[in-house]
Amino acid sequence: MISEDTIVAISTPIGSSGIGIVRMSGDKAFVIARKIFSPSSRTKVSWTSSFKMYHGWILDPETKEPVDEVILSLMRAPRTYTREDVVEINCHGGLVPLRKILEICLREGARLAEPGEFTKRAFLNGRIDLSQAESVLEIVQAKTEKTLNLAIKSLRGELSNHILSIREEMIDILSILEAEIDFAEEEIEILPEKEKEKYLDNLIQKLENLLDRAKTSQVYREGIKAVIAGKTNVGKSSLLNTLLERERAIVSHIPGTTRDTIEETINIKGFPVCIIDTAGLGIAKNPLDEEGAKRTRNSLKMADIILRMGDGSSSLEKEDEKVFATVKELKKQTLLIINKIDLPQRINKNKLREIFPHLHPVEISATQGSGLGRLKTEIANLILKKITPTSEDLMINMRQKNCLEKTKKCLIRAKEGLENNLSVEFLALEMREGIEHLDELTGRSLGEEVLNRIFSRFCIGK
């Protein structure tokens, strides 16, 4: 599965920037670098050294013409990201010099790297396990600082250490069961039934603790969908723009300006929150109104939190009542917001309390920014009702969660078999299967097709 090719890719985003990086990894990385790099006049390159940087120029071997002024970084195996020889060419960050250097490296014998292939090689060469490799992608895609911190914990091996500890305990129990099978004729019970049950209960509890953390990590990774719902011209788009601190949605005093849903993610108290601006749920006057209302209803069905918005400067209308009825019917976590408190107030707050007796409205002015601090706090409080963040939180993705759930089911079946006096062979079979699922999680036993699918989600150059 480990390719002997030398791979190359642009490792920085395409575009204009101060620095761009072309990365190579493999046995020929130093050979290719030696062909295309010309050190500056006073620089002497030690090609046998590692962790050295040199100033010079990339030359096109065919024309001998300089392509760009660069800093060349040389890193010898095995103390590199991939555990192979690695060369990084730091050039100017323009599209033309980056692509030209990439083309020269390809011409001299390197192969264009597949998405995630550098990290895949780090995994295949044993520098990191699969859960750590996946955390690299989590770092790249992190939406908040908290998400980044959790991903870094996984990269440093915290999840791997938990899995390794559980696996070792399962192997210990399996070895005892195997010994009892080998000495079945002597009817020797190496470990009493009660002790076996105690071991299984302890392992199941450890897996349940990890699965609880998976719920928290899902919120940090995928975020929470918060849908702004209200009648037309209530200030939904103004609220979105104020939360984003930029003009994302068109704002107008003309009712019905927003016809489609608009989604943007913001950081609220460390949580990535996808704020969705919607069209009003008023009486449809034309097909566009009807389509806008349909999309609003679909967004509300998918929402984790509904930000029910009312206009404090006007009395409650039939359109308000329609929105109230739709929101109550969905039975979702709801935050009641009264907007436009900077204007004379006409809204009937007693009527609001009758409709939503358990909700305390948050009063804001979307255009002036008043009350937004409390609004963010209340949104965060609703999120905290879904999860309980702790210092022991870990980043656990859906694939890893699935492996943990399968292992837990094996242990539960083993415990049930123990209670029903099933044979030791049955218990050993469940333990072996559970260990296999843990090995899937860390990548000890996983097919190449699955590995390719996992690493295909990475960007090229990582």
360 known ligand binder:
no
Query: Counting beta carbons within 10 angstroms of the beta carbon of residue 42, is it exposed (0 to 12), middle (13 to 18) or buried (19 or more)?
Result: exposed
Could you give the CA distance from residue 340 to residue 309 in angstroms, rounded to a whole number? 10
- Distances from the Cα of 197 to the Cαs of 232, 283, 412, 440, in angstroms? 61, 63, 10, 25
12 known ligand binder:
no
Do 15 and 33 meet the contact criterion of CB atoms below 8 Å apart?
A: no
122 SS3 class: helix
Q: Which of 150, 151, 276, 271 is nearest to 222 (CA)?
A: 271
Locate 441 and state its tokens: 């999680």
257 known ligand binder:
yes
Could you give the CA distance from residue 116 to residue 134 in angstroms, rounded to a whole number? 10
55 known ligand binder:
no
Could you give the CA distance from residue 87 to residue 21 in angstroms, rounded to a whole number? 10
254 known ligand binder:
yes
Q: Which of 140, 48, 72 is nearest to 458 (CA)?
A: 140
Locate 337 and state its tokens: 């917001």
88 known ligand binder:
yes
328 known ligand binder:
no
Q: Which of 82, 65, 70, 57 is nearest to 5 (CA)?
A: 82
Q: Which of 305, 307, 302 is nearest to 383 (CA)?
A: 305
255 known ligand binder:
yes
Q: Which of 74, 70, 45 is nearest to 58 (CA)?
A: 70
Instruction: Please state the separation of Cα 327 from the chain's center in Å.
Output: 30
462 known ligand binder:
yes
461 known ligand binder:
no
291 known ligand binder:
no
Locate 270 and state its tokens: 């460390």
252 known ligand binder:
yes
Dihedral, CA of residue 39, residue 42, residue 46 and residue 51, to nearest 10:
-80
127 known ligand binder:
yes
End-to-end, the C-alpha distance of the chain in Å comes to: 18
236 known ligand binder:
yes
Half-sphere exposure of 9 (CA within 13 A, CB side): 18
369 known ligand binder:
no
Q: Which of 147, 23, 152 is nearest to 85 (CA)?
A: 23
234 known ligand binder:
yes
258 known ligand binder:
yes
423 known ligand binder:
no
- Binding-site members for (6S)-5-formyl-5,6,7,8-tetrahydrofolate are 23, 88, 127, 462
- Binding-site members for GTP are 233-238, 252-258, 277-280
- Binding-site members for K(+) are 233, 252, 254, 257
- Binding-site members for Mg(2+) are 237, 258
- Binding-site members are 23, 88, 127, 233-238, 252-258, 277-280, 462
